[in-house]
Structure 1
Amino acid sequence: MESRIMPMPKNTYFQMLFENRHVADRKFAIECAEGSDEAEIFLYDTIVSDKDEAEWWGGVDPETFVNAVRGIDAKNIHLRINSPGGSVFAARTMEQALREHKATVTVHIDGLAASAASFLAMVGDEIIIGEGAMMMIHKAWTVSWGNADDLLAEATLLEKLDGTLAKTYAKRAGGDESTFADYMRNETWFTAEEAVTAGLADTIYDAEPAPKKEDNTQNAICPSWQCNAFLNAVNRPDKVSDVQDFVSDEHRDRQMQRLNVLTCCALAVN
């Protein structure tokens, strides 16, 4: 079998990471005053699979998040979210760390809880969404290549992932899994009011601005995310350029080299 250069496949996950690589005011931090029973986790960033991706694209990896959560000794954790989401399994790992913690978890959706960040929010014993904030849920993504059996196996895995996600939303919201499966299929964006109505959030913040901190430092600023990778994004342009336009020529060449190496290895094994 002859080796050849393969076209770079569309990968909306990496498109999302690339578009947000240089977004200002990204933040992941744990803040807890000495002797306080209250701790705040600021997840104002993307969710990435591992430390290598975090180093290249930015974002929060599960190992860093879990270690930070395990270091919290407080009765109440306030998870503050403004994130376009990211890796499903990374977010699942973060979710489990919070579920296993002794603290009561209150989730605050300060800006956007999209994709993986939306089901991470379901960990909250209470979910509070800001007036003007949004949530988005959709079906899982992947990129794959291979023969028909390989692609069918990948599709089966995606269906299983979608089933677990619909179950998580339904369990927290109190609805039917089929209802949330339909929301996911249609990539549904929820306003604060719609999120509460659907059961994805409990209450909406008061519209009054938050007071400044006692040390006169400004409150954390929510980054503004680019969401062109999503089909129905509120800030998506009317016309989207070619699916590969989000990468530079240099980055595309590097990705092509890696893909060709993987292809050659696969051919050698076959």
Structure 2
Amino acid sequence: MTIPKLLQLAKNNAGKSKPVRAESDGKEATIYLHGVIGGWWGDIDETMFAQALAGIDADVIHLRIDSPGGDVFAARSMMTAISQHRATVIAHVDGLAASAATGICMACDEVEITQGAGFMIHNAWTIAIGNKADITKTADLLGKIDTGLAGDYTRRTGKDETQIVQWMDEETWFTADEAKEHGFADRVVEVVNKKKAGNQWDLSAYSNTPAALLQPKNTADDGEAIIAHQSALSRRLALLERAPA
């Protein structure tokens, strides 16, 4: 059995980020979403995010995003929390918004992307076990998820849904300028006199990752955290491998 792409994505990026962190300064607040989305197997727990967001009494909330994606339902929960908050919520794509992370951007009032950052949309993935009827139901569910995501992108960008679906089918990666051109972002921010932006995520689970993003930049590792996270993911994978076909 090959490692499902979802678990591969999570396992390869385990322990590279910190849990949800929020900072507040008067009328503005910042939440850092740097990690894999989804509390069951990622770094960003949707419940912790919703609680942190609900506890903020500010006029403007900045979401600093650098994420290779994650659980689409966890992202949907976060999107709901964002849309129901009274504050103006601004997404800042600091490095990467891929997969489920792009949905979070769509729920924000404004989206700002750093020059050199990336933005990727594709069709939903899942892990399925069962007979042919179970697999068929799972495929139907994935189709509904894709339709919902396509609707989010269409409403935000104003693009024809056929074009959005094609981009999702092809796993399309956009540069910052392309994300703005096609309506996924409102503006591109130049970073002047700063270190060159680099990708910290292992994106080998995806099919069309640009070559420049396939070599993650070196980051300081918290060895114990990485080992613990990878061990937990390995146990979950082992359960799937032992499940009857």
- Place the TM-score, normalised by the shorter chain, in its bin: 0.7 to 0.9
Counterparts of 1:223 and 1:32, CA distance in 2: 27
Give the C-alpha shift of residue 259 in structure 1: 4.7
User: Distance between the aligned counterparts of 2:47 and 2:232, measured in 1?
Assistant: 30
What residue ranges of structure 2 are gaps of 5+ in the alignment?
Answer: 216-229
2:33 alignment partner, one of 28, 43, 47: 43
Gaps of 5+ in 1: 1-7, 211-220, 238-247
CA RMSD of aligned residues (A): 2.6
Cα contact 2:49–2:78 (8 A) shared by 1? yes
Q: For 1:249 and 1:183, how far apart are their aligned partners in 2?
A: 35
C-alpha distance in 2 between matches for 1:61 and 1:94:
9
- Residue identity (%): 39
- Give CA deviations for 1:69-90 in whole Å, capped at 9, x if unaligned: 1111101111110000100000
In structure 2, the residue matched to 1:20 is: 13
Residue 112 of structure 1 contacts residue 134 of structure 1 at CA under 8 Å; is this kept in 2? yes
Residue aligned with 1:79, SS = strand
- CA-to-partner distance for each residue in 1:193-238, whole Å, 9 max, x for gaps? 100111000110033247xxxxxxxxxx98711101111112348x
Distance 1:177 1:258 in 2: 36
Equivalent residue, structure 1, for 2:89: 105
Report the TM-score, using the length of structure 2 for normalisation: 0.85
| Distance (whole Å) between structure 2 residues aligned to residue 123 and residue 254 of structure 1 | 31
1:42 aligned counterpart, secondary structure: strand
- Counterparts of 2:95 and 2:233 in 1: how far apart (Å)? 30
Question: In the alignment, is the contact (CA less than 8 A) between 2:67 and 2:101 conserved in 1?
Answer: yes
Counterpart selection for 1:256 from 234, 238, 244: 238
Cα contact 2:69–2:100 (8 A) shared by 1: yes
Counterparts of 1:148 and 1:110 in 2: how far apart (Å)? 42
* Greater CA drift, 96-105 or 171-180: 171-180
Q: Where does residue 155 of structure 2 map in the other structure?
A: 171
TM-score by length of 1: 0.77
Distance 1:231 1:122, change over 3 A: same
Describe the SS at the equivalent of 2:20: strand
Distance 2:90 2:135 in 1: 40
Number of aligned positions between the proteins = 228
Residues 4-83 of structure 1: pairs in structure 2 closer than 5 A: 8-23=1-16, 26=18, 28-33=20-25, 36-50=26-40, 53-54=41-42, 59-83=43-67
